[in-house]
C-alpha cells in the first residue's frame, strides 16, 4: 500500500514520515528503532480519548460500566479488527522470521502497531489531532456501541413500542387486573397483551406506571 493510500485510511497526513515509518517497524527488524515506545505512548493516548468520549456521551453510566465499555473498545481484539479494516498488515515492517510465520496477520502485532500509529499521530499532530484520528478509526464501533447503549437506557415500554412499530404490529394493550393495599401503600398488577402475537405477561409495582414497565419488560424477554 502506498503512503498516500495509507494516509487516506487513517484520515491523517503525516508531517514527519519518520514517525510513521517507526510506528510500522516491528522489533524483529530493529531492536533500537522500532515501534515499542510509540506503542507505549499510543496505548495511553487511546485510553484517554476513548475515556473522554464515553464520559461525555454517556453521563448516566456509572464508573464500573464505563470501565468495562472502555476495555471492550481498547482490547487487543478490537484494535486488531480496526487494523485489518485499514489493511494495516500490508504496511508493517517485519523481520524474516515474523514474516514467514505470518506475523502481519497476528492480533498482537496488528494491535501493537495500531497503538504505535496513534502515538505517532499524537507526536506529529498533537492531542486534538490524535482525538480526531482515534474517533475516525473507531467511528463504526462507537456508532454501534452508542446505538446499543441508547437503546438499553430506554424504558421497557418505549423499547417494546419501537420494536412493534418497526415490525408494523399493533401496540400492546395494558390493563390493571388487580390492586391491593391501602391508598398510600398499593400494589398494582398489570397485564400487557399483544393480541396478534398471542403474547401476554403481567407485572407488579407500587404504581400503575411501574407495573406496566415490568409487564412490558417481561414481554420483551419473550420477544428476544
- Nearest Cα to Cα of residue 216 among 147, 167, 155, 125: 155
**In this structure, are residues 110 and 84 in contact, taking their beta carbons and an 8 Å threshold?**
yes
Q: Cα–Cα distance between 36 and 180 in angstroms, integer?
A: 67
Catalytic site includes residue 43:
yes
- Report residue 178 as a C-alpha cell: 388487580
Which entry of 43, 98, 112, 214 is annotated as an active-site residue?
A: 43
Q: Cα–Cα distance between 84 and 104 in angstroms, integer?
A: 10
Q: Which residue has the cell 503512503?
A: 3
Catalytic site includes residue 115:
yes
Q: Cα–Cα distance between 1 and 3 in angstroms, integer?
A: 7
- Nearest Cα to Cα of residue 125 among 9, 2, 19: 19
Q: DSSP assignment, residue 169?
A: -
**In this structure, are residues 193 and 173 in contact, taking their beta carbons and an 8 Å threshold?**
yes
- Nearest Cα to Cα of residue 10 among 100, 87, 112: 87
Which entry of 98, 115, 124, 212 is annotated as an active-site residue?
A: 115
Q: Cα–Cα distance between 21 and 33 in angstroms, integer?
A: 10
Q: Which residue has the cell 517497524?
A: 25
Residue numbers annotated as active site: 43, 115
Amino acid at each position: 500500500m502506498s503512503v498516500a493510500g495509507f494516509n487516506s485510511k487513517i484520515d491523517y497526513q503525516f508531517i514527519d514520515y519518520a514517525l510513521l515509518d517507526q510506528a510500522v517497524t516491528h522489533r524483529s527488524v530493529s531492536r533500537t528503532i522500532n515501534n515499542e515506545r510509540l506503542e507505549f505512548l499510543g496505548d495511553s493516548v487511546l485510553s484517554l480519548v476513548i475515556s473522554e468520549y464515553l464520559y461525555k456521551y454517556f453521563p448516566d453510566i456509572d464508573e464500573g460500566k464505563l470501565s468495562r465499555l472502555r476495555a471492550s473498545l481498547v482490547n487487543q481484539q478490537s484494535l486488531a479488527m480496526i487494523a485489518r479494516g485499514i489493511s494495516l498488515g500490508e504496511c508493517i515492517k517485519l523481520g524474516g522470521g515474523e514474516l514467514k510465520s505470518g506475523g502481519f496477520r497476528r492480533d498482537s502485532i496488528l494491535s501493537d502497531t495500531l497503538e504505535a500509529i496513534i502515538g505517532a499521530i499524537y507526536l506529529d499532530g498533537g492531542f486534538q489531532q490524535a482525538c480526531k484520528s482515534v474517533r475516525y478509526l473507531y467511528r463504526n464501533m462507537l456508532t454501534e456501541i452508542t446505538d446499543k447503549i441508547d437503546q438499553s437506557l430506554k424504558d421497557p415500554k418505549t423499547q417494546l413500542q419501537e420494536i412493534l412499530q418497526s415490525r408494523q404490529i399493533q401496540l400492546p394493550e395494558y390493563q390493571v387486573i388487580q390492586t391491593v393495599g391501602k391508598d398510600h401503600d398499593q400494589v398494582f398488577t398489570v397485564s400487557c397483551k399483544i393480541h396478534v402475537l398471542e403474547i401476554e405477561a403481567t407485572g407488579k409495582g407500587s404504581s400503575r406506571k411501574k407495573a406496566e414497565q415490568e409487564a412490558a419488560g417481561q414481554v420483551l424477554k419473550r420477544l428476544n
